[in-house]
Amino acid sequence: MQYTLDFAKDLDKQDLLSTYRNEFYIKEGIIYLDGNSLGLLSKRAEDSVKNMLESWKEHAIEGWMNGENPWFFLSENLGSKMAGLVGAKENEVIVTGSTTINLHQLIASFYNPSTGRTKIIADELTFPSDIYAMKSQIKLKGLSPEEHLVQVKSNDGYLLNEDDLIAAMDENTSLVILSSVLYRSGQLLDMKKLVEAAHERGILIGFDLAHSIGVIPHDFANIQPDFAFWCNYKYVNSGPGSVGGLYVNEKHFGVEPGISGWFSSKKDKQFDMEHELNYEHHAGAFQVGTPHILSIAPIIGSLQIFEEAGIDKIRRKSLQLTNFLMMLIDSELTNLDFTIINPRVDEKRGGHVCLHHSEAASICKALKAHGIIPDYREPSLIRLAPVSFYTSYEEVWRAVQVLKEIMVQGDYKKFKNTRNVIA
């Protein structure tokens, strides 16, 4: 099959989500393939921020209980809306904190080495911030991370074997904390298999959904993990530093939050101002301080788009986009030393394509100079994330043609093969 420009345009004509492209601010002359790091601004998210500022201007302190989206209940209300993205019950999800802060909270709440189970299992490919949090929490328990944090090895430095992860789960394991999708390679782990193995051994297990929330449907009602946490600024398109989210399985409702604050309280008791915390018995218990209202605001508009489009349709297009991208790479970039690192099987792949090339850093700089926005990750990896809402098949086709051009003509050699401060 010839993957021509006309073929790409025909795919765009058949695209059921193409109308949502007009919902986003797309810079003319730029092909944005970095939505797995930071999603683009939608007009509805922008309106949500404007409406929230107007609410502050109009209501002042009364905005906590009045207005279109009363601030006091906003984290819970958005959590109930976001629950559909993970296939959970409404009261199992709360919009709060950040990825790392939420992980600290969950470890503090569920890691109890006094039971004799002292180990936390992770892997050597996990995003560093998650490892920092795990080590920190182990130290706070007076233990050594070198002894009590187990990082399962990868056979090739890019992918994980679920059986290796399961083999590490023993009678000394307290928690297993893994990514649903590996941030470098885009591998989607078999969460159901891992959860069942952990629970058979009496181990709690949770997942970092940073690279799957908003691009992959989750069925937590079926998978039954103990907890999960995520950011919303990637595929959920809620803006830089936007508030994250967490999930706690209802079987753990009533667990005292390890890190407490006044927003951990039951709503009807919070302003009693007592010094004994009457913490909530749902996911809201794992909030800490006052919610960041202006940073939550974009999520209101963003979730409206998800509710309309449906996560299943989003996933279907994402798989089609990444498959098309890989087919073009296979067809156009032969003998140019690129290797596709991510799994090719749909059920094993997240929302981005990962390429290895020894000159990856300089190639990314050259792509940016030609109006293509990729993402570089050590070591020598180029991540390309076409996003269902705003990336067209024509853009994917054009991006690969530009990549081929800068390689054949040697344009990438004009740039140093070292990452910038922010890759």
Tens-digit pLDDT profile for the chain (423 aa)? Answer: 678 999 999 999 999 999 999 999 999 999 999 999 999 999 999 999 999 999 999 999 999 999 999 999 999 999 999 999 999 999 999 999 999 999 999 999 999 999 999 999 999 999 999 999 999 999 999 999 999 999 999 999 999 999 999 999 999 999 999 999 999 999 999 999 999 999 999 999 999 999 999 999 999 999 999 999 999 999 999 999 999 999 999 999 999 999 999 999 999 999 999 999 999 999 999 999 999 999 999 999 999 999 999 999 999 999 999 999 999 999 999 999 999 999 999 999 999 999 999 999 999 999 999 999 999 999 899 999 999 999 999 999 999 999 999 999 999 999 999 988 777
Residue 113 annotated in ligand binding: no
208 a known binding residue? yes
Neighbouring residues of 150: CB distance < 8 A, sequence distance ≥ 6: 119, 120, 121, 122, 168, 173
Would you say the C-alpha torsion 70, 41, 187, 14 has a positive or negative sign? positive
Q: Which part of the chain has CATH 3.40.640.10?
A: 47-308
Nearest to 406 by CA among 372, 358, 380: 372
What would the two tokens of residue 182 be? 């590996």
Facing residues of 120 across strands?
Answer: 149, 175
Integer distance in angstroms from the first to the last C-alpha of the chain? 35
List the alpha helices (DSSP H) in 187-265.
191-200, 220-223
CATH 3.90.1150.10 residue ranges for the chain = 5-32+310-414
48 assigned to a ligand binding site: no
211 known ligand binder: yes
* 128 among annotated binding-site residues: yes
Quote the pTM value: 0.96
CATH class of 47-308: alpha beta
Question: CA 23, CA 389: separation in Å to the nearest integer?
Answer: 8
Assigned token pair, 213: 């929330």
**Which residues are within 8 A (CB) of 352 and not within 5 positions of it... i.e. 6 or more apart?**
36, 186, 211, 322, 342, 383, 384, 385
Residues 218, 227: Cα–Cα separation, whole Å: 13
CATH 3.90.1150.10 fits 5-32+310-414, yes or no: yes
Structure tokens at 55: 């609410």
Encode burial over 294-321: b for 16+ CB neighbours within 10 A, e otherwise.
ebbbbbbbbbbbbeebebeebbbbbbbb
Six token digits for residue 90: 């409404």
Annotated binding residue 290: yes
**pLDDT value for 423:** 72
Alpha carbon distance 49, 47 (integer Å): 5
Q: Are 302 and 238 in contact (CB under 8 A)?
A: yes
Does residue 99 have a known ligand-binding role?
yes
Which is it for the CA torsion 87, 92, 96, 98, positive or negative?
Answer: negative
- To the question of whether residue 130 is assigned a binding role by annotation, the answer is yes
Query: Cα–Cα distance between 194 and 148 in angstroms, integer?
Result: 20
Instruction: Please check whether residue 205 is in contact with residue 189, taking contact to mean a CB–CB distance below 8 angstroms.
Output: no
Distance CA 367, CA 373 (A): 7
Residue 225, marked binder: no
Which residues lie across from 381 on neighbouring strands? 356, 377
Residue 240, annotated as binding a ligand: no
